Each structure stands twice: as structure tokens, then as C-alpha cells.
A and B are shown apart, each in its own frame.
Chain A
């Protein structure tokens, strides 16, 4: 009895919903204006999501490439063939710029801010790489305008890259082609990129001591101090992420200042090849103190 009831019930369940669903589906006319409208929404949303995915991929590529450039630049500081490596970095950056060009091509008719994913990682990493290179070259901070100026592409460049991809831009009217394509790094991304730069500088400072370079640490500490002052000047008028990075910045500055202190106090006493060991034990000690 019980079993039979269960069976009947199950059978009932199996059949009934399908019927109900069919009924419901058939009630809705597939060519009703509502469904037609939704079909066009489907297309629009899919196009948007596709574009988003493409941009995420490009943004990742930019991030990876930038990280590689940074590593390359770190090798510069510890090498005798400075010029060779700098040339390499220059080449890497210019090929890198092509990728940024693709992004711009994607974004041509878009509001940049619709896809903020690009700006959270890719561009910041790019700012970090290019400002690091600039610092090694000139010992100064690259300005936002300089970065943005490099991100202006004459359409021919981009067009040439994309010529195989699509014939569409060529057939477009002349006026639009004449306009340079540009990607603007926002002040916020610039700031965050610079904050990341300070971490690289700290690493550069410590490794250069290891190579017996006594001047670089002092230059770096001066530069970092100036940046730190800049960040404190902005303070909390900036976005939230900026104030978060301020803490790490302070730590980096502390390490660099510590290194400079050690160099000044004991630099004259210790043989050069042992300096690095002294410094590393010193920094690890101060890290420990901060942890407590």
C-alpha cells in the first residue's frame, strides 16, 4: 500500500511537471514583442561579456609582461653590462606598448570606465615598470603626463597591427583615423603604481649594497622619502586603496633608511664583501621587531 502510493506519487511527479512546463512554454508566443526584445538584449549582453573577457586577457598579458620587465630591470642594477640590458628593457617596453595598443583598439568607442578590471592590475603594473625604468635612467619620478604621452598612438601604428585582423578600420572615414588613439592612466592608477614602485626600489637598494654599490642606497632613500612625503601630502583625500598602500610604503622606507644608517655607521669598518650579510641580518631583525 505504502509502496504503491509512493510509486504512484513518483509517477505523478514524473509526468506532471513536464506537462505543466509545456503548457507554460506554449502559452508564450515565441515571436511576441517581449521575446524579440529579449533576443536583442541577449545579443547585446553577449557582446559586452565577450569584450570584457578579451580585455581581461589583455590586462593579464600586460601584467605579466610588466613583471618581466621589472625583473629585467633588477638585473640591470646588478650587472656590468648596464647599457645592453637597458636596451633590452627598452625593446621589451616598446613591444609591450603594442599590447597596450590592442587595448586601446578595443576601447576605441567605449567608455574606459565601463571595464574597470583593466585599471586595477594591468595599468598599475605598467606604471610600475615604466617608472622603474625611468628612475634607473634619470633618478627622478616619471610624471603622469609623460606616461600618458607614451600611450598616445598614431592610428597608423595600431592600424598596421590590426590590418590582418580586420579590414574594417581601413574602410572607416578619414577623420576618425586621423584622431590619435590614447589611453589615459588615471591619477589613482598612477598613485597605486608609484606605491608599488617603492617596493621595487627597496629591493633595488638592498641588492645594490650586496654588489658593493655604496651610492645607490642613499639616492634611493632620498627618493623614497620624497615619495613618502608626497603620499602623506595627499593623505586621505585620495581613494581608499591609496591609504592602504601607505603602510607598506612606510615599511619599505624604514628598511631603506635602516640600510643607509648601517652603511654610514659601519660602512667604513666592515670590508665590502661582508656588507650584504651585515645588512640582511639587520633588516631581518627590524622586521622581527615590527612583527612584535
Chain B
């Protein structure tokens, strides 16, 4: 084969590759849109009145996750299953967001840490790589770190809204998460960078807890809460 022929073979495989990427990008764009909608829905918990109908909001968010599942199913058809990591950077960001959102919903509903299996269930993807489109462990951990950041904000805002017991619960949750992350030997990559931010979230929440405890607030004592509100 002549050099020209060889290069035209390469060229056609390159442009086929580009077509695949284009297709993936389209689906990812739709996914990002849905993720933003879910986030907007859940952001309402930071409002003073938002904490009351949390359950209803979570219900609605879970309905949106159905759309996410269909989009992800579509994404799975766009590339060969064994080339997950080849195109992985296209959906990495949005997948981390979605993991965070799923973890946030689960936290708001039950105040527990979502398991990897549960996230995979909510998103309609696999846990283990050999079964197809899966949930990468580093993406899962990154999603949890975004959750920690969000919860540190929630601790602050729930105090503003008059809910003094929530920060204490968030504090113990984050502490558990923090000691979990301390078990990991992280490499110097983006996950590690994110993890370095976790201590600031922990600190912020501890400060909120401190503020509450020196004023004798929290501890689930509703009488005290009432008094402060009267003032």
C-alpha cells in the first residue's frame, strides 16, 4: 500500500472517531440540562421555607432521575462498551454532578450516605465495569465530596431558618465521611485536590455547631428554640 492510501485509512478512522464524540457530546448536553434542573429543585432547601417540604422536593427530583436514566441508556448506545475510558472525559463532569445529586436526595430523605450500589441503581448504570457502563469509583468519591460541600452550606442556612438540630446531625455525618476519606491513599490527582477541600467543610460545620452550643441551642430541645424565636 502506498503512503497516501495508508494515510487515507487513518484519516477515515479519525473522522469516524470524531463522529462518535459528536454523538456523545449531544447526549451529554441533554444530561447536563437535566442535572441543572434537579439542582435548581433541590436548591430550595436553602430557603427559609424550603426545609418543610423536603420530601416533596425529593419526590420530584426522583422523577427527574427517570429522565436521566433514559438519557444514560441512550449514551450507552453511542460507543462500544469496552471503550468506556476512551470517551470517559466527555461525561465525567456531569456524572459526578449526578452522583452528587443522587447522594443529596438520599441524604435529605434518610440522612444516610448513599451507597455506590444505590447510586448506580438511581442512575440506571452498573457498579462493576465488566457489566457495561459503570460507575467509576473516583467519580463516586468526587460526588460525595461535592455533597460535603453542599451540606456545609445547608448547616449554615438551616440555622438561619431556625432549625438548630440539623447542623448537629450534619456534623456527625460529615465527620463519618471525613474519617472514611482518611482511610484512602489518594494519588496526587483531581480527587485528592477535592479531598483537600473537605477539611474546610468540616471546619465550617464545626464552627456552626460551636456557635449553637455556646448559646445552648440545638440538642433537639424545641423549648429553647422557641424562646430564641420569641426574642
Among the 9-residue stretches B1-9, B31-39, B146-154, the one with 4 or more Cβ atoms under 8 Å from chain A is: B1-9
Measured in the bound complex, the distance between the Cα atoms of B7 and A238 in whole Å is 11
Consensus secondary structure, chain A interface: helix
Q: In the complex, which of the residues B84, B130, B185 contacts A49, with contact meaning CB atoms closer than 8 Å?
A: B185
Q: Which residue of B lies closest to A35 (CB)?
A: B180
A38 x B180 contact (CB < 8 A): yes
Measured in the bound complex, the distance between the Cα atoms of B4 and A226 in whole Å is 7
Q: Is B13 on the interface with A (CB-CB < 8 A)?
A: yes
A111 x B137 contact (CB < 8 A): no
B3 x A230 contact (CB < 8 A): yes
Task: Determine the chain B residues whose CB is within 8 A of the CB of A38 once the complex forms.
Answer: 180-181, 183-184
Task: Determine the chain B residues whose CB is within 8 A of the CB of A24 once the complex forms.
Answer: 175
B3 x A226 contact (CB < 8 A): yes
Task: Determine the chain B residues whose CB is within 8 A of the CB of A27 once the complex forms.
Answer: 172, 175
For B1, B3, B116, B172, which residue has the most chain A Cβ atoms within 10 angstroms? B3
Consensus secondary structure, chain B interface: helix
Q: Is A291 on the interface with B (CB-CB < 8 A)?
A: no
B83 x A113 contact (CB < 8 A): yes
Q: In the complex, which of the residues B10, B130, B176 contacts A32, with contact meaning CB atoms closer than 8 Å?
A: B176
A111 x B7 contact (CB < 8 A): no
Among the 9-residue stretches A2-10, A40-48, A161-169, A252-260, the one with 4 or more Cβ atoms under 8 Å from chain B is: A40-48
Measured in the bound complex, the distance between the Cα atoms of B85 and A112 in whole Å is 8
Shortest distance between the CB of A175 and any CB in chain B (Å):
15
Measured in the bound complex, the distance between the Cα atoms of B12 and A238 in whole Å is 10
A34 x B177 contact (CB < 8 A): yes
Q: Which residue of A lies closest to B115 (CB)?
A: A37
A227 x B3 contact (CB < 8 A): yes
A111 x B18 contact (CB < 8 A): no
Query: Interface digits, B144-187 against A, CB 8 Å rule (1 contact, 0 not)?
Result: 00000000000000000000000000001001110111011111
Q: Which of B53-98 contact A (CB under 8 A)?
A: 82-86, 88
Q: Which 7 A-B residue pairs are closest in the complex by CB-CB distance?
A: A230-B7, A38-B180, A113-B86, A226-B3, A113-B85, A114-B85, A111-B85
Interface contacts beyond A113-B85, A223-B3: sample of 7 additional A-B pairs, CB < 8 Å, sorted by A: A28-B179, A35-B176, A35-B180, A37-B113, A38-B180, A114-B85, A233-B11
